[in-house]
Every structure is written in structure tokens, then in C-alpha cells.
A = this chain, B = another copy of it.
């Protein structure tokens, strides 16, 4: 008998490829697996967008330090972020939950209250779902439906050499927030009435517990008549998202370490935890910022928009994904995990 392949061996992207390849799609699926959303025919002028996320207790959230209201809010925002990453507008969602008997109705009301607040904020309607029992932890599955004008839809695959690489907000804060939460959980579990110390960490904590999807960035881009050539949201980390854009656009890229936006509180947390802030900025994940490319000719326009950093350029396919460090070295960026060679330098 052949040796069975493990999940670790093939990795997440490899697994998706293996599992979904045998399925066939027709021309009625404009874009299937492989972008932030699936794209389907809708009306004469619009496409429908579909995205889904399955959030598991112990993997995506920890009930010890995440209030249920925040979990609900975040679950909605995470899905909305995928719709925004197609330059679309989220409209409807379904919510399924599986819960063990330990949850009270009141606790679940908190979860849904968080969802409701997020829905009101971004104009999304709850249209259905499923509730079931769980033998173990809480599972939350959301499917978000949206629309996008046909001439405004943005894929991961449209980046062209010389395009500017832009990112909204700042990077690595959610990772920093998570470090603080995990430390305080350990202190709390140590007992003796220890109270978690969370002052001074407000920004990173807000970023991990209650992220905001960046609809405001889409509004600004539209106001300046900018349609990105490619876009993705930063859920797995900048390097991972750059990898998706470069692979699907068949291009390379060069970013500059000194241009990576890092919030001052993020940097402080990193210092406290003896982590180089560059690491969460490149690989942290869960920031839910928008990473996108715009033609070089729109440099002056994009520069005017607040809260967008131009961090580099798209390069020819022959060029690898790289970063120019503060010291001027060229560093190869790897999508999965940190490039250990660079850390040692």
C-alpha cells in the first residue's frame, strides 16, 4: 500500500488544488475557486460575488479572551473583507452555527448581536442559516453574497509589471494583539485572581478582536477614479497575499522594508516580545487590510489617499518576489513560513 500523504506535506494551497481540481465548471462560473470570491453572472451590468468562511473554536478564536460579541462582529467583517477585495459590495449572508450544550441562549444572543452590529455597519442582510449541536467546540460558518459592477471587478490576476503595490492601514498589529492576549491568558490561567494587563495595547487588541473591513478604502479609490489592477485582502500575511497576486498575475515583485506601514503600538509590543516587527508585518495575518496594485501612471492620484502606503512595484515574471531591506540587501520572500536564511543574516 502506498504511503498516505499528510496535510502537512501538501500544505493548504496544495490541498485545495488536489481536492477541487477534479470538479469541472462551465462558462456560467466566471471565476470559481482561487480568488477572494467566486464570480457569477448576475445582471446586465453586475456580477454576483460569493465567499464563505468556516471559523472553529480553538483555531480561529479562543473563548477565554474573545467576547462572543466580538467574535460575531469579526466573523461578518472577515467575510465582507473578501467581497471588498473584489471591489464589490456585500449584500446578504447566511450564518450557520454548531454549539455544544454549554452555551446559554444569552451567550448566543451576544454572538448574533455582534453580527447584527457589523451587518448594520456595512449594509448586509441576514437571509438564512442553520443551527445544530456540536459534540465539541463552537463552529461558525458564514457565506456572504455581494455584487460588483462588471467593469469594476478586480481579480488577483491583473497585476502588470511596473504597477505600484499598495496596502491600506498598517501590518502586523493583529499578530501583536494575539501575543498580548496569549500572554494574559497564561497569566490568568496562573490563577490567584490575576487580572490581565491590557492598557497600552488598545490598538493591537482592537485589531485582533474587532477588525474593520476596509470599505472606506474602496470609496477613496472610487473617488479618485482608481480601479486597482489586482487586489486581495491581507488575511494570511502580506507575503502570502503577494504570492497569490504574483502567481496568478504571472509576475514578480519588489517591496521595500522601509515602506512597510507598522503602527507604533505594534512595534512596542514586538519589542516587548523580542520579535523583529518586520516578521508580523510580512507574515502576521488577520490584518484584513487591502493589498492592491495600481498602474504607475496613477502614482500622483493614489499618493493623495490617506492611509494607503505604496510599498513597492510589480516586476517581470522573470524576477522573484523580493524585498529590499533597510540595509539594501535583496531578500527573497517566501509565501509560507518565514525565510529562515534571512533571519540568520
Interfacial residues, chain A to chain B (CB-CB below 8 A): 4-10, 12, 15-16, 18-20, 22-26, 28-29, 32-33, 37-38, 40, 42-43, 48, 50-60, 91-92, 94, 96-99, 101, 103-109, 112-113, 115-116, 119, 125-137, 139, 141, 143, 145
- Sample 7 A-B pairs with CB under 8 A, ordered by A number: A15-B105, A23-B126, A33-B127, A50-B143, A52-B143, A54-B97, A56-B135
> Looking at the complex, which one of B6, B16, B129, B145 makes contact with A33 (CB distance below 8 Å)?
B129
> Looking at the complex, which one of B37, B50, B116, B134 makes contact with A22 (CB distance below 8 Å)?
B116
B127 touches A38 (CB 8 A): yes
A94 touches B56 (CB 8 A): no
B132 touches A25 (CB 8 A): no
Residues from chain B with Cβ under 8 Å of A107 in the complex: 4
A33–B95 Cα gap in the complex (Å)? 10
Chain B residue at minimal CB-CB distance from A41: B43
Contacts A15-B108, A53-B96 known; 11 new A-B pairs at CB < 8 A: A6-B105, A12-B131, A18-B109, A25-B127, A38-B127, A40-B92, A54-B97, A55-B132, A58-B135, A58-B136, A60-B132
B52 touches A130 (CB 8 A): yes
Looking at the assembled complex, report how far the CB atom of A112 sits from the nearest CB atom of chain B, in whole angstroms: 4
A133 touches B51 (CB 8 A): no
Given contacts A5-B106, A22-B116, A40-B92, contact A132 B59 (CB under 8 A): yes
> Looking at the complex, which one of B40, B99, B125, B143 makes contact with A28 (CB distance below 8 Å)?
B125
> Looking at the complex, which one of B26, B40, B52, B105 makes contact with A10 (CB distance below 8 Å)?
B105
Residues from chain B with Cβ under 8 Å of A50 in the complex: 92, 94, 127-128, 143, 145
B143 touches A9 (CB 8 A): no
B94 touches A38 (CB 8 A): yes
